Structure 1
Amino acid sequence: MARWTHLTITVSDLPKSIDFYTEICGLVVVRDRRPEGSTVWLGAHKSLDEDPAFVLVLLPGEVRDRVGHLGFQCGLREEVDQIAARAERLGILEAPPTDSGGVVGYSTIIRDPDGHLVEFTHGQPIQGL
Structure 2
Amino acid sequence: MSEATHSTGRLHNTGPGRPTWTHMALAVSNVDATVQWYESFTHLRTLARHEDVDGRNAWLADPDEKSRPFVLVVGEFYPGHDPFAPAPHHPLGPFAHFGIELPSREAIDEIAARGKAAGCLALGPVQMAKDIGYICFLKDPDGNTIEFSYDQGVFETARDIWQVAV
Superposition TM-score, scaled by structure 2 size:
0.69
* Among 57, 74, 92, the residue aligned to 1:39: 57
State the alpha-carbon separation in 1 of the partners of residues 60 and 89 from structure 2.
21
Tell me the amino acid that sits aligned with residue 108 of structure 2.
Answer: V
Kindly report which structure 2 residues correspond to 1:82-93, keeping only aligned pairs within 5 A, or say none.
Answer: 82-93=110-121
Kindly report which structure 2 residues correspond to 1:6-21, keeping only aligned pairs within 5 A, or say none.
Answer: 6-21=23-38
Q: Which residue of 2 aligns with 1:56?
A: 72
- Once the 2 structures are TM-superposed, how far is the Cα of residue 46 of structure 1 from its aligned partner? 3.0
Tell whether the 8 Å contact from 1:8 to 1:56 is kept in structure 2 after alignment. yes
Tell whether the 8 Å contact from 2:140 to 2:146 is kept in structure 1 after alignment. yes
- Once the 2 structures are TM-superposed, how far is the Cα of residue 52 of structure 1 from its aligned partner? 4.8
* Among 90, 98, 105, the residue aligned to 1:65: 90
Q: CA RMSD in A?
A: 2.2
Structure 1 SS opposite 2:142: coil
State the alpha-carbon separation in 2 of the partners of residues 35 and 99 from structure 1.
45
The 1:53–1:7 alpha-carbon spacing in structure 2 relative to 1, beyond 3 Å, is same
Q: How many residues align?
A: 127
User: Using CA pairs below 8 Å that are at least 6 residues apart, which structure has the higher relative contact order?
Assistant: 1
Q: Which residue of 2 aligns with 1:27?
A: 44
* Among 87, 96, 102, the residue aligned to 1:74: 102
Structure 1 SS opposite 2:75: strand
Tell whether the 8 Å contact from 1:74 to 1:80 is kept in structure 2 after alignment. yes
Q: Which residue of 2 aligns with 1:103?
A: 131
The 1:52–1:38 alpha-carbon spacing in structure 2 relative to 1, beyond 3 Å, is farther
- For structure 2, list consecutive stretches of 5 or more residues without a partner in the other structure: 1-17, 83-87, 160-165
Q: Which residue of 1 aligns with 2:8?
A: none
Structure 2 SS opposite 1:124: coil
Identity among equivalent positions (%) equals 28
- For structure 1, list consecutive stretches of 5 or more residues without a partner in the other structure: none
Tell whether the 8 Å contact from 1:73 to 1:124 is kept in structure 2 after alignment. yes
Tell me the amino acid that sits aligned with residue 114 of structure 2.
Answer: R
